[in-house]
């Protein structure tokens, strides 16, 4: 669900941008090494040699765009959240239990100690990078926030599709990331032309189960210990 909203936002942004400048759209199909549709992949386009200078219209990613990583049903939603650099992310706790959200990632280290409801301030992610989010009292709860450098990024949906609109045509470095990737995929480059562009990417991942809330109560701790071997970049 959240993905749709993101996509909608992106599409909206793309529309705005494309009103003033020539724009390309990129449709990316993400699969895993076996050819299955892969969701939760982040694709980022980093401009290398823009064909046309950007207009004065600054691409301002609305810092006021609302990003949230909520805790609901004792898991993080979304599993992978892509935000631009400098974005603020809210961490609303929609559960009845408190969560102690934390991250020790280099990109952002923070703690939201045992709270319920919404915190006062959102967390600002000012550094590009990867932030692994965990909950101190629920070991299994995991999520990732991809802080992108470039404005052109998105997360693949359930069918592994990404739509990037209003992208100025030109040459871009394509970076792809998946939380379960075995090794960091090599970045490729693409020249985006005006109009629709297609791209197919593949990431070799180590299949895991997405965090899901265990039956509440005591004696289910074995599930948590199986969620291991996740590499952080």
Partner 1 sequence: MQLTTALFVLSATQRDFRQQQTQNLKIGSNVFVEMLSNRNKQLNQSLSLLSADFGFKRAVATGEQDTISSVLANHGRRINADAAILLSPQGTLLSSSLQGLTKANIDELFALTKNRSTTFEIFNYDHSSYQFVLQPVKAPTLIAWVGMGFAMDKNVADQAKTITGIDISFINQSADRVEIVSTLPTAQQQDVLAQMDQLDQTIDVVSDDVPLGYLSTTIALDNNSDNQLAVLHQSNIKWQQNYDALRNNMLLVFAITCLLAFMIAAWFAGGLTKPIYGLVNFARKVGQGENPPPIKGAPAELQVLANTLSIMRENIESRKNDLVYQSQHDNLTGLYNRVAAKQLLSQLLSKMHGNLVMIDIKNFRHLNNIIGFANADDLLVLFASRLESLSPTAQLISRLDGDSFLLLFQPGIDDQQLDNYLRLLTQPFAIQGSKITVNVRVGMVDLSRGYDSNDIDTLIRHAEIALNQARMESLSIATYQQGEDERYLRELMIIRDLPIALSQGQLHLVFQPKVDIQTNHCHGAETLIRWLHPELGFIPPDEFIRLAENSGNISIISEWVLNTTIKQLAKWQQQGISLTVAINLSAHDLTNPQLPLDIEQLLISNNLPITALSIEVTEGAVMKDAQTVIAVLQQFRNIGISIAIDDFGTGHSSLAYLKLLPVNEVKIDRSFIKDIHTDATDLMIVDTSIRLIKGLNLSVVAEGVESAEGIDILRKLNCDIIQGYVYSKPLKADDFIVWFQQFNQSNVPF
What does the binding site for partner 1 look like in residue numbers (CB under 8 A)?
A: 100, 102, 104, 109, 132-136, 139, 141-142, 225, 227-232
Q: Which is nearer to partner 1, 136 or 173 (CB)?
A: 136
Q: Which is nearer to partner 1, 105 or 150 (CB)?
A: 105
- Asked whether the beta carbons of 183 and 204 are under 8 A apart, the reply is yes
CB 82 → partner 1: shortest distance, Å? Answer: 18
CB 224 → partner 1: shortest distance, Å? Answer: 9
CB 162 → partner 1: shortest distance, Å? Answer: 24
Q: What does the alpha-carbon distance between residue 78 and residue 89 come to, in Å, rounded to a whole number?
A: 12
Q: Which is nearer to partner 1, 108 or 199 (CB)?
A: 108
Return the DSSP state at 117: B
CB 187 → partner 1: shortest distance, Å? Answer: 21
- Asked whether the beta carbons of 172 and 152 are under 8 A apart, the reply is yes
Q: Which is nearer to partner 1, 187 or 230 (CB)?
A: 230
Buried b (16+ CB within 10 A) or exposed e, 91-125: bbbebeebbebbbebebbebebeebeeeeeebbeb
Phi/psi at 61 (nearest 5 deg)?
-75, 120
């Amino acid at each position: 669900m959240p993905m749709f909203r993101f996509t909608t936002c992106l599409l909206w942004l793309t529309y705005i941008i494309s009103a003033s400048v020539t724009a390309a759209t990129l449709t990316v199909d993400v699969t895993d090494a076996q050819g299955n549709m892969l969701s939760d992949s982040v694709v980022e386009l980093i401009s290398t040699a823009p064909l046309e200078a950007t207009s004065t219209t600054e691409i301002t990613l609305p810092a006021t765009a609302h990003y949230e990583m909520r805790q609901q049903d004792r898991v993080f939603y979304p599993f992978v959240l892509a935000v631009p650099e400098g974005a603020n992310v809210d961490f609303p706790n929609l559960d009845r239990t408190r969560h102690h959200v934390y991250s020790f990632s280099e990109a952002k280290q923070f703690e939201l100690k045992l709270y319920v409801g919404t915190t006062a301030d959102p967390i600002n992610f000012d550094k590009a990078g990867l932030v692994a989010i965990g909950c101190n009292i629920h070991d299994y709860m995991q999520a990732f926030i991809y802080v992108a450098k470039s404005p052109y990024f998105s997360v693949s949906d359930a069918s592994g599709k990404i739509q990037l609109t209003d992208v100025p045509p030109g040459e871009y470095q394509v970076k792809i990331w998946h939380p379960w990737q075995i090794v960091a995929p090599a970045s490729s480059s693409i020249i985006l032309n005006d109009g629709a562009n297609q791209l197919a990417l593949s990431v070799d991942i180590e299949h895991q189960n997405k965090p899901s809330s265990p039956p509440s109560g005591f004696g289910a701790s074995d599930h948590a210990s199986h969620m291991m071997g996740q590499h952080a970049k």
